[in-house]
């Protein structure tokens, strides 16, 4: 099944809006279920989710913080007059967590797309090519900068700085050492890139051609219509 990237973008947009529009954990739960179904249908490798396990603790902490400070709802766990956990706190924590996972799932759908198709979709959506190009460069350079940052980290440690044991006074200094070369090299790369672009005729003619092409097929219209219907039904059901 080849689904056009614009269809995926539409679905992702719907999920993101829904995730932010609703607060009720039950509704969010249903949305997350639909989201997971979509993620599976689009064949996103699910193991990526495992990387987010650590966030669960954060949400547990959020529940406690919310219960402690807001004190709404029935207490579930209390210490004297201090509320440690309330029903509202728990619900709040669960909502935020569900919301987070819906957004992660949507992000995964996009991440799993081919970058050049994504770019092409943005162009076809009439976003100015200069802006699309900036997005493209941004995506392209993320791994480069991560690699550079890692090199500097390694370099600093191999030259004798134990990053875990740096004195408080010197932390700032070390971090300046780490980020200044990376920022400097970003600027240098940007400058080189702009020269290279001109040398290779960027924007020489008002239109450009693309090696790949994307097109909306029958299946796309079916999926888009279905998603809109499901969304409408969901919105209606929640209202009543």
Partner 1 sequence: MAFISLQEVSYTYNGRKEAAVKNITLNIEEGEKIALTGLNGSGKSTLAKLILGLLKPQAGNIVLDGLPLGKYSLVKIGEKIGYVVQNPSQMLFNTSVFNEIAFGLKWKGKGKDEVFHLCKKYLEFFELWHLRDELPFNLSEGQKQLVVICAVLALQPRFLILDEPTKSIDTFRKKRLKDILQEIWRLGTGIMVISHDKEFLTAYGGRRIHMVKGEVVEDAGRYQN
CA–CA separation, 188 vs 77, rounded Å?
56
Among 75, 177, 189, 193, binds partner 1 (CB under 8 A): 177
Q: Rank residues 136 and 177 by Cβ distance to partner 1 and give the closer one.
A: 177
Looking at 47-55, 58-66, 177-185, 196-204, which segment touches partner 1 (CB under 8 A)?
Answer: 177-185
Q: Rank residues 70 and 183 by Cβ distance to partner 1 and give the closer one.
A: 183
Size of residue set near partner 1 by CB under 8 A:
19
Contact 1, 219 (CB under 8 A): yes
Among 76, 111, 112, 148, binds partner 1 (CB under 8 A): 148
CA–CA separation, 83 vs 69, rounded Å?
8
Contact 18, 238 (CB under 8 A): no
CA–CA separation, 202 vs 180, rounded Å?
30
Q: Rank residues 184 and 210 by Cβ distance to partner 1 and give the closer one.
A: 184
CA–CA separation, 127 vs 120, rounded Å?
10
What are the φ/ψ torsions at residue 75 (nearest 5 degrees)? Answer: -75, 135
CA–CA separation, 23 vs 165, rounded Å?
43
Rg (CA), the chain: 24
Per-residue x/- track, 103-142, partner 1 (CB under 8 A): ----------------------------------------
Q: Rank residues 23 and 157 by Cβ distance to partner 1 and give the closer one.
A: 157
Site for partner 1 in 3-62 (CB under 8 A): none
CA–CA separation, 44 vs 185, rounded Å?
34
User: In this structure, what token pair is assigned to residue 26?
Assistant: 């039950």
- DSSP letter, residue 240: -
Looking at 120-128, 147-155, 209-217, 221-229, which segment touches partner 1 (CB under 8 A)?
Answer: 147-155
Looking at 62-70, 75-83, 172-180, 211-219, which segment touches partner 1 (CB under 8 A)?
Answer: 172-180
Q: How far is the CB of 109 from partner 1 (least distance, A)?
A: 22
Should residue 213 be labelled a site residue for partner 1 when binding is judged by CB under 8 A?
Answer: no
Q: How far is the CB of 97 from partner 1 (least distance, A)?
A: 30
CA–CA separation, 97 vs 85, rounded Å?
16
- The footprint of partner 1 (CB under 8 A) covers 148, 151-152, 154-162, 177-178, 180-181, 184-185, 188
């Amino acid at each position: 099944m080849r689904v056009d990237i614009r269809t995926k973008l539409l679905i992702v947009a719907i999920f993101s809006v829904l995730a932010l529009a609703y607060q009720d954990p039950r509704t969010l739960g249903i949305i997350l279920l639909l989201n997971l179904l979509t993620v599976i249908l689009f064949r996103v490798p699910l193991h990526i989710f495992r990387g987010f396990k650590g966030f669960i603790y954060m949400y547990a902490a959020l529940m406690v913080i919310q219960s402690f400070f807001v004190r709404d709802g029935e207490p579930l766990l209390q210490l004297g007059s201090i509320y440690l956990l309330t029903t509202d706190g728990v619900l709040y924590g669960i909502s935020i967590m569900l919301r987070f996972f819906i957004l992660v799932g949507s992000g995964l759908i996009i991440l799993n797309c081919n970058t050049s198709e994504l770019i092409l979709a943005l162009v076809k959506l009439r976003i100015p090519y200069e802006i699309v190009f900036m997005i493209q460069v941004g995506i392209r350079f993320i791994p480069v900068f991560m690699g550079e940052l890692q090199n500097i980290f390694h370099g600093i440690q191999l030259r004798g700085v134990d990053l875990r044991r740096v004195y408080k006074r010197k932390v700032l200094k070390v971090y300046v050492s780490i980020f200044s070369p990376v920022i400097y090299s970003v600027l240098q790369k940007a400058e080189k890139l702009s020269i290279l672009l001109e040398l290779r005729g960027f924007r020489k003619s008002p239109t450009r051609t693309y090696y790949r092409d994307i097109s909306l097929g029958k299946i796309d219209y079916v999926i888009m219509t279905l998603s809109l219907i499901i969304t409408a039904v969901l919105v209606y059901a929640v209202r009543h």
